[in-house]
Amino acid sequence: MLKKILSFILLTFVVICSAQNFPEKEKKYDQDILSFLMDITQKDSISLETFLMYSKPFSKWDVRPLEREKVWCLDTVHGVSEVPNFFFGIFCHMYNVSEAASRKMPNDFIQKGIDSKSHLQNYLNENLKKFDQLSKLISGSKNVVFVSYNDIQKADNLYQDKDTYWKYKIPKDSPFPISSMVESNLKEKFSKEQIRILELIKELEIYAAYKTTKGIFYLADGLTDNSYGFYFNSKGNMETDNFLFRIMKSEKINENYFYYTAN
């Protein structure tokens, strides 16, 4: 009898802790986001290429929580780097991509990042003054995330698609950076500083910048949770403990910049 009581108490404790640590578990935000993305890709006849572009790290369909290392998603607890891979697998199936081909894509992407190292290192050195200017602007900015490529611009949670400004309406207890609800035609617009940062990102042919407490990651390209590009640190140290960037390889380019590949 005592054993049953103790088991019940332990189970109750686990359930309470789970509810406290993962309040999103009962809200089904993950399923709402998945349904939202499936509906919009089918409704707008989005190609696989476009889907992969929009779901790059920090882009408008990137589902990774940015402030928590673990999250309740698709019926269990995952590290945030796992979440986009599950979505990637679901959408590859929807686009009739074979399992073998979908498994190969991230590996091919990482190899592309490794093969691009020499070219991109030279590119950074050739454009060092502009990268230094960009690093100075981002370091002094209140924003953390910038994205600028094709027709998408983003500064934290404010997006611009062509001439329209919009935001996701994120529930307070949702850890995800996107939702099925959107506020569009906003009066809020990018500041002159934000516009200059976004222009420099596009001019330098990277697509995103993510500022941490230690430095700045510049993403040359991304696929699901994988990326490669540059890292800036004013003290010349490489950041290897950020859960959004599982660093596979890094190499110092000059005093303040590194080349990295992450998965």
| pLDDT tens, the chain, 263 aa long | 434 433 333 333 333 334 447 777 878 899 999 999 999 999 999 999 999 999 999 999 999 999 989 998 877 888 988 999 989 999 999 999 999 999 999 999 999 999 999 999 999 999 999 999 999 999 999 999 999 998 899 999 999 988 899 999 999 999 999 999 999 989 899 999 999 999 999 999 999 999 999 999 999 999 999 999 999 999 999 999 999 999 999 999 999 999 999 98
Whether 12 is covered by a domain: the verdict is: no
Looking at residue 259, its pLDDT comes to: 98
Q: Are 151 and 162 in contact (CB under 8 A)?
A: yes
Alpha-carbon gap, residue 103 to 212, rounded angstroms: 30
Return d(Cα 260, Cα 219) in angstroms, integer: 9
Residue 139 is predicted with a pLDDT of: 98
Whole-number pLDDT of residue 161: 87
Q: Contact at 8 Å (CB) between 100 and 92?
A: no
Domain boundaries, position 80 = 25-263
What pLDDT is recorded for position 49? 95
* Residue 138 near residue 211 (C-beta atoms within 8 A): yes
Q: Is residue 20 part of a domain?
A: no
Tell me if 229 sits within 8 A of 249, measured CB to CB: no
pLDDT at position 17, please? 39
Residue 1 in domain: no
Q: What is the pLDDT, as a whole number, of residue 156?
A: 97
In a domain, 10, yes or no: no
The answer as to whether 68 is a domain residue is yes
Residue 7 covered by a domain: no
Residue 14 lies inside a defined structural domain of this protein: no
54/32 Cα distance (integer angstroms): 18
CB 188 within 8 A of CB 194: no
Our count of domains for the chain comes to 1
Is 4 inside any structural domain? no
